[in-house]
């Protein structure tokens, strides 16, 4: 069974640009969550999608948005990039409540 796939693995963008990250969950998993990891901050929750609906959103500005498609694939978009957006962005999928989440390898975004 294929794991969670995130593309691209690495990205370098300039301040003010926008970026779109992609996540393909494990087959059969309908819940997809996004997390941001920065040094010393652990994993910060961005949002969670289930069956194309955003069910929960973390404490991030509106520049961070996402969506989920009918095949459960998800995209995350960050507009007007800032230097502080440089981080590892992780996507996780799960089958439902009280189950473990499986993470992709992440996308390393560097904003210069």
- State the residues that interact with another protein by CB under 8 A: 4, 6, 31, 33, 35, 40-45, 48, 50, 55-56, 58, 90, 92, 97-98, 100-106, 108
CB 45 within 8 A of CB 54: no
Taking the complex as a whole, the smallest distance from the CB of residue 77 to another protein amounts, in Å, to 19
Nearest residue (CB) to another protein, 81 versus 101: 101
Give ∠ CA 53-57-61 in degrees, rounded to 5.
125
Instruction: Pick between residue 35 and residue 64 the one whose CB is nearest to another protein.
Output: 35
Closest separation between CB of residue 72 and another protein, Å?
15
Residue 39 CA, chain-centre distance (Å), reads 17
Nearest Cα residue to 89 out of 45, 51, 54, 50: 45
């Amino acid at each position: 069974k294929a794991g969670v796939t995130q593309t691209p693995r690495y990205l370098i963008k300039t301040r003010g640009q926008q970026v779109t990250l992609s996540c393909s969950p494990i087959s059969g998993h309908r819940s997809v969550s996004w997390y941001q990891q920065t040094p010393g901050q652990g994993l910060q929750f961005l949002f969670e999608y289930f069956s194309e609906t955003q069910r929960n959103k973390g404490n991030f500005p509106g520049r961070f948005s996402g969506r989920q498609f009918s095949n459960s694939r998800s995209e995350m978009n960050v507009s007007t990039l800032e230097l502080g957006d440089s981080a590892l962005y992780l996507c996780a999928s799960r089958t439902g409540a009280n189950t473990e989440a499986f993470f992709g390898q992440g996308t390393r975004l560097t904003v210069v």
